Structure formats: structure tokens, C-alpha cells
Amino acid sequence: MNIHTVATQPFDDQKPGTSGLRKKVTAFQRRNYLENFVQAIFDSLEDFPGSTLVLGGDGRFYNRQAIQVILKMAAANGFAKVMVGQGGILSTPAASCLIRKYSAFGGIILSASHNPGGPDGDFGIKYNTGNGGPAPEKVTDAIYAGTKTMTAYKILEANDVSLDDLGETQLGDMTVQVVDSVADYAELMESLFDFDAIRSLIRSGTRLCIDSLHAVTGPYAKEIFEQRLGAPAGTVQNGVPLEDFGGGHPDPNLVYAHDLVEVMFGDHAPDFGAASDGDGDRNMILGQNFFVTPSDSLAMIAANATLVPGYKSGLAGIARSMPTSAAADRVAAKLGLDCYETPTGWKFFGNLMDAGKVTLCGEESFGTGSDHVREKDGLWAVLFWLNIMAARQESVEAIARAHWQEYGQNYYSRHDYEEVASEPANQLMENLRALLPTLAGQQFGSYRVDFADDFSYTDPIDGSVAMQQGIRIGFTDGSRIIFRLSGTGTAGATLRLYLESYEAQVSKQGQDPQAPWLS
């Protein structure tokens, strides 16, 4: 066995963001850039030699090359086994599923989520811990600290491993097991949802359109919807993962999933539409001429959860990220459940789920999930909706309207100001912070300010504190305005403005008729 210790210099830009390290592909292609970060991950871990690592990515450009490097470094650093998805493919929720199912030490997921791919696009790498979830801040801080002092990394000199054939090969003392990317995940979905009921919903004529946006969920969606649930071939569109996502932006929202939006808001629209993002953890849910906001989706899933076999005994609690609308809070209150408001980013849900305090979690940014894994899960949300439709024998719109009638509607919109200059963006936040003490109690038209703060969160399990997580201005009727700076951008700053207005009157509820996708 030939293990090399390669001398290297630290890079000064390897601070992991909300979801790992995300940079342009060209940044990752710099000599030793990936290697340094991977070594910093391994150096941050304790007692892993002899254990198993899960490895895979969303199939974007540089996925295969990075996997070969990581395999050889894992072998040199003492892992006994790496389970890698066939062709290097694993969706983020599928990776989380594998880590948990096979009690792996952790996993490395290669993805820049919904960011564009290709040689000029983005690449990313993140580490997930043994619970299947994103590394907590103390781990990512240790990784970052390691990158700043990195002087050498270890790598095995060996030929590349074939990623296309299922089965085991040896890499030095380490076993590489190429696993079916879809099978374990699909089995988990079958254990949670009533596939028979969904199958008969489809058989009785409910038409679906599932858009994988040329990203990782293609093979998962084809297996689940077209094979196991019997939907006609062609139900999954843009279902072949491409290294550049076909030049698109694999983000399941009304702007970027435009093919799907055209179908669902066009003539003869199917009954149900959904899209997933680059790595399969996000989802967008559409009915015929109808958009379900992600915040509403979380609330509606929660309200109907006991209709679904995997959740029939009820929920432990619900968590939502701070900018997510308070629609879920109203469901939690009615069901007598605890509801947690956490900072943005899935990693804050992990402790709550591990401690059994919450079952469902969601973010306004098209992320929904439960304690079945420790990541948000796009296709899981799609199956949840189909299961609810099958159980209630109602359309998406009927389910939504009934929900608003019962709980009131939280009208919601988010506005993103992307790639703005960092300095004025930071200044704007500073100025807002300075204004906060003057806002409480002020009246603006019919709205009275109830509270105004810079959100901070103390984790109820480990006591860790996250400060300055966004400016919240809450009004006495439950409406809110929120400002925050993104933690995932790769250029300049991104300012996000979130607006939420509560409407209890049924006659005023519905989709905003001015919504651009309706015209």
C-alpha cells in the first residue's frame, strides 16, 4: 500500500456556510483545494478508523473526479469501508438514509444544492454526522479551523475505482461498496406511505407531472412514481441527471421550474405537479392552477399527518425556521404540540429530532422533512401530499382551502436581492438593528408592532447559542416582516426580505390574483 503524505498550503476561503463548502467549480479545481478540505474533515473526526463512510453526490460536473480523490483519501486516513452510490449518485436524503440504516460513522455529500452546475457553475461538499444530519456548528468550526493550518494531506496512490458496477472492490485496506443509489431510499418511502392508496389514486385517473430538473431525483422519481406506483412513463420529466442540469438552475420554485409551471398553469393541467432541486432535498408542490407555499405545505402536512401510515400515531412536535410563516404554529397550537422556531438551515432541526421533540420540520425555502432522515426530503414531501390526496379524495386546492378556512391563511412572499455588494448589505442590517429599539408599539396603518428583534436561538438540547439570525418585526395580528443575509451565496451578499400577512376571513383567502405565474 502506498500512502502519500502530500505537503500543502492552507487556503483562506474554506469556511463552510449553511450547507457545507460551496464554491465555483474552478475554485475546487485549484491544486489541493478539495484535498485540503477533505483532510480537514477527517482531522476534525475522532475514532473513525475502522468505520464506514457514505459517499455520493448530485451528479454535477466534478462529482466523479471528487469522489475518486475522496475514496483514496478515505483509504489513506483509515476508513474500513466507503459505501458509494452507483455512478457517484446519491441524493442528500438518500445519503442520510444510508448513514442511518447502516450505522455509518458519517457521510460526505457532494452538492451545491440548487445552484447551477457545469464547468462554470458551482460545486460543494458537506459532511454529515452519524445521525445522518448536517454537521453541527462545532464540527464545521473545527473543520474550518483545520483548513487554516493545513500543511499536509494523506492520499493512497491507486487506480480509480469503477463507480458503475454494483459490488465491492478493495482500495488498499479499505473496501469500496458501490450501492444501488435508489433501493434503500425507495424502501424507506414504502415503509412510511400507503403506496396501495396512491397507486389506486393514480389508477383512477389522477394525473401527475414530476419535474426532476435534470438533477439527482430523476432515477429516484422514475423508480418510485413510474415503477412502484404505476404512473405512466413520462410522468417524470427532465428525469436524466446531467452534469450541468441541462444549463438550468435546479431550484424547484416558480421561477426556475418554468417547464412545470407552464404545464400546471396551462390548459389541461394535470392534477398534481412537483419539482425537486439539484440534490433532491427541496420540493415544490403544485395543484391544477395552484401553488402551495412551502410554509403552507408544512402546516398542511402537519394537520393531515395522521392520515399517513408512518405518522398515524401523531406527531411529537413541529419545528420551522424563523423566516418560515407561522402557519405551522397554528396547527401545532390546535393539536396541542410544541412548535420550535429555529435559525435558517436544516442543521438546527437535528438536535430536536434526535431528542424526540419534533417529528416534522420545514423551511419557507421549499424544504420539508421529518425524523425519517436528518435532511429535508423533496420526494418524501411529494409522497406525503399524494398520500393525503388519496386519503381525503380531494384536490390540492380543496385541501388548501379547507385548511385556510380552519386555521386562517398566512399570505407569504420572499424577495431576494442577489449578488449585491457586501458592505452596503451589512450596513443596511446594522442600520436596521439600530432602529429595533424604537419600533416596539409603533402603529403603521392598521398594523401595530408587537416585537422587533434580531433573532437569536438557544438550542434547547445542547444550550448552544446562535446570534444575529435575522431581523424580525412582528405585528400584533401575527403578520411579520423579516430581513436577513443569506449564508449560501457564492458571490457578494444576498439580502432576503420575507413578508407575511395573516388573513382569517375566508372571503379574502386564496392565491394572490396578482401572482405573476397566474397571468
Q: How far apart are CA 97 and CA 9, in angstroms?
A: 35
Q: How far is the CB of 428 from Zn ion (least distance, A)?
A: 27
- How far apart CA 145 and CA 352 sit, in angstroms, is 27
Closer by beta carbon to ligand G1P, 113 or else 387? 113
8 A C-beta contact, residue 282 and residue 276: yes
Is 413 one of the binding residues for ligand G1P (CB under 6 A)?
no
Q: Which of 91, 351, 365, 469 binds ligand G1P (CB under 6 A)?
A: 365
- If one asks whether residue 359 binds ligand G1P (CB under 6 A), the answer comes out as no
Q: Whole-angstrom Cα distance, residue 118 to residue 61? A: 5
Q: Rounded CA gap, 54 and 106, in Å?
A: 6
Query: Could you say whether residue 58 binds Zn ion (CB under 5 A)?
Result: no
Q: What would the x/- binding string for Zn ion be over residues 266 to 305, using CB under 5 A?
A: -----------x-x-xx-----------------------
**Residue 487 touches ligand G1P, criterion: CB under 6 A:** yes
Residue from 63, 129, 344, 409 touching ligand G1P (CB under 6 A): that is: 344
Number of residues that bind ligand G1P (CB under 6 A): 14
Alpha helices in 204-312 (DSSP H): 217-221, 258-264, 294-304
CA–CA separation, 433 and 426 (whole Å):
11
**Minimum distance between the CB of residue 365 and ligand G1P, rounded to whole angstroms?**
4
127-135, 244-252, 480-488, 501-509 -> range binding ligand G1P (CB under 6 A) = 480-488
Residue 368 CA to residue 379 CA, distance in Å, equals 10
* Binding-site member from 19, 39, 181, 387 for ligand G1P (CB under 6 A): 19
Smallest distance, ligand G1P to C-beta of residue 277, A: 8
Exactly one of 14, 36, 91, 113 binds ligand G1P (CB under 6 A); that residue is 113
Q: Which of 91, 96, 111, 113 is catalytic?
A: 113
The smaller minimum CB distance to Zn ion, of residues 281 and 363, is found at 281
191 is catalytic: no
Q: Torsions phi, psi of 454, nearest 5?
A: -100, 115
Alpha-carbon gap, residue 457 to 215, rounded angstroms? 34
Least distance CB 204 / ligand G1P (angstroms): 36
How far apart are the C-alpha atoms of 145 and 209, rounded to whole Å?
45
Return the number of the residue (269 or 298) whose C-beta is nearest ligand G1P: 298
Taking CB within 5 to 8 Å according to partner kind, which of Zn ion, ligand G1P, none is near residue 279? Zn ion
**Binding of ligand G1P by 492 (CB under 6 A):** no
Under the criterion CB under 6 A, does residue 412 sit at the interface with ligand G1P? no
**In 3-state terms, what secondary structure has residue 363?**
strand
Considering the complex, state which of residue 394 and residue 416 has its C-beta at the smaller distance from ligand G1P: 416
99: Cα separation from own chain's centroid: 17
| 375: contact with Zn ion by CB under 5 A | no
- Intra-chain end-to-end CA distance of the chain, in Å: 64
Using DSSP's 3-state secondary structure scheme, residue 473 falls into strand
- Strand, coil or helix: 58: coil
Nearest to 97 by CA among 188, 168, 163: 188
Minimum separation from the CB atom of position 363 to ligand G1P (A): 4
Q: Tell me, rounded to whole angstroms, the distance of Cα 300 from its chain centroid.
A: 19
State phi, psi for 282 to the nearest 5 degrees.
-100, 160
Q: Are strands 338-342 and 317-321 parallel, antiparallel or unpaired?
A: parallel
Sole binder of ligand G1P in the list 363, 371, 377, 500 (CB under 6 A)? 363
Q: Which stretch binds ligand G1P (CB under 6 A): 116-124, 221-229, 467-475, 483-491?
A: 483-491
Question: Which of the 8 DSSP states describes residue 460?
Answer: T
Angle CA(421)–CA(427)–CA(430) in degrees, nearest 5? 145
Q: What is the DSSP string of 8-25?
A: ----S----BTTBEEEEH
Q: What gap in Å lies between CA 167 and CA 179, rounded to an integer?
A: 7
Region 267-326 residues binding ligand G1P, contact defined as CB under 6 A: 321
Q: How far is the CB of 429 from ligand G1P (least distance, A)?
A: 13
CB neighbourhood size of 86 (10 A): 18
Stretch that binds Zn ion, among 1-9, 105-113, 389-397, 399-407 (CB under 5 A): 105-113
The interface partner of residue 277, options being ligand G1P, Zn ion, none and the CB cut-off 5 to 8 Å by kind, is: Zn ion
Question: What is the nearest approach in angstroms of ligand G1P to the Cβ of residue 214?
Answer: 19
Residue 211 found at the interface with Zn ion (CB under 5 A): no
Radius of gyration of the chain (CA): 23
Query: How far, rounded to the nearest angstrom, does the alpha carbon of residue 430 sit from its chain's CA centroid?
Result: 29
Asked whether position 488 contacts ligand G1P by CB under 6 A, the answer is yes
Nearest residue to Zn ion, by Cβ distance, number only: 113
Active site residues: 113
Residues binding Zn ion (CB under 5 A): 113, 277, 279, 281-282
Residues within the interface to ligand G1P (CB under 6 A): 18-19, 113, 321, 344-346, 363, 365, 367, 486-488, 496
